[in-house]
Amino acid sequence: MLRKSIVLFAVAIFTAALFALDPGQTELEHNGWFRYTNQSSDFKITDPSVSRFSLERGYLRFSYQWAPPFFTKMTVDIFSSDKYPEGATVRLKEAYADIAMPVVRDFNLTAGLQKHYFGLIYSWDYTHPEKSLADDQGICASADYGLTINGYLPSGLGELQLGVYNGEGYKYAGKYVNLSPELLGNVRLTPFPGIALGVSMFTNAADQIHYKNDKKGRITQSGSTFFMNADTTNKNRFALAPMFKLAFGPVSLLGEYINYNYTRFFSYYKINFDSAGAVIDSTLNEKTKKYSFSGLDLVPTVTLAKRTLEIFGRFSMWDRKEEHDNEMQLNKDKSFVRYGAGFNYHFMRREKGKPGLEFQFAWTRTQPKNTELKPTDVLLAQVRFEWSTIINKPEL
């Protein structure tokens, strides 16, 4: 059991860098998550604020091995959930090419829409059906457009990723992409069997999110050409995430700490009126405000019954601090402690221990640090079904 756990963990964290197919082979994969969600305040599940069925994930993946050094992959997400404004739709999640580097052994260059190698996001295998903490809190997206170098360190010591991304994630493109690229580094070390340690960081000089609040900041002055058009930019963005995983026999513990900071710049035009209330002109106003976020995420798991059953817990905490009167103060309404538990029952697994057909159940309670606010309870019941097949090149 110990050896199997270690091997499976190594497979999970190194999947991104593998060229698993033979030249000419195509792999077709489908991931589907059919979920029921019940959300209520203070565990009033018979009077929920959310009660819905949805298809949270409908990935179709297409991978093709052109030749030993060339690999391409595309993933589309076909989903149906009223959690998203577009409801049922299709999104492009991955579209990239891997090219083996000619000089550096076991390293490859990846170009396109690809995984975002920050914290636990790219290695999060959804043993717990909810997102990793950084993804859940919007620190960064799970995928982005960019160019990365990925590879193994010598003697099986671990892996390394270095990348440059747009910084907006996979949902934005074209005119919504800022002019300041994001730089990212990630390293994972496996000094001993069953122990993985790592750290990742990204920095982004500025994003440009005025497109997100353009309508909120616009105030039309009845028939006048003057208007207030708020513009907001987050600058000096920096995030750091140390992580670890311990896996001994049927027991494992996954954890990470996140620290994220930026300064928000506001600029807007204030409308000036005369004594009769008529518009005279406008004045440009500029302000700044600092934000600091920190969080901890722990996921203990026990695997039983020949890996058919997984029982997991989860503990998370999140602090959001904002600058007021030159002091960083905790925003208790948006800071929280979250905990819960659940289980996964695997009807069937695929090769290398990947999920095949399983039932997942999870309960989480989120308690804001403002104790006057009631906690939120979420119950998830999900059927997760995943399969893949390899199509060989036809013989002529």
**One pLDDT digit (tens) per residue for the chain, 396 residues:** 444 454 444 444 444 444 579 999 999 999 999 999 999 998 999 999 999 999 999 999 999 999 999 999 999 999 887 777 777 889 999 999 999 998 888 999 999 999 999 999 988 999 999 999 999 999 999 999 999 999 999 988 999 999 999 998 898 877 778 888 999 999 999 999 999 999 999 999 887 654 444 444 445 555 444 455 556 778 899 999 999 999 999 999 999 999 999 998 877 667 777 898 777 777 777 788 999 999 999 999 999 999 999 999 999 999 999 999 889 999 999 999 999 999 999 999 998 889 999 999 999 999 999 999 999 999 999 999 999 999 998 777
d(CA 132, CA 243): 12
Rounded to whole angstroms, how far apart are CA atoms 313 and 128? 8
118 vs 123: CA distance, rounded Å: 9
pLDDT of residue 171: 85
* Phi, psi values for residue 214, rounded to 5°: -60, -45
Specify whether the CB–CB gap between 20 and 71 falls below 8 A: no
Residue 11 has a pLDDT of: 43
Helices (H), the chain: 2-14, 133-136, 210-217
Cβ contact 389:28 at 8 Å:
yes
Which pair of structure tokens corresponds to residue 229? 């058009």
CB 384 within 8 A of CB 58: no
Class of residue 87 by CB neighbours under 10 A (exposed 0-12, middle 13-18, buried 19+): exposed
Structure tokens at 3: 């050896």
What lies within 8 Å, CB to CB, of 365 at 6+ separation is: 43, 338, 339, 340, 375, 376, 377, 378
CA–CA separation, 97 and 18 (whole Å): 13
* Confidence (pLDDT) at 213: 41
**From CA 46, how far away is CA 214, in angstroms rounded?**
39
C-alpha closest to that of 361 among 8, 25, 2, 37: 37
Radius of gyration of the chain (CA): 24
Task: For residue 94, give the nearest of 137, 60, 134 by alpha carbon.
Answer: 60
Per the CB < 8 A criterion, the answer to whether 341 and 312 are in contact is yes
pLDDT of residue 209: 56
Cα angle 233, 237, 241; round to 5: 145
Q: What is the pTM of this model?
A: 0.86
Separation of alpha carbons 70 and 101, rounded Å: 10
How do 195-206 and 50-67 pair as beta strands? unpaired
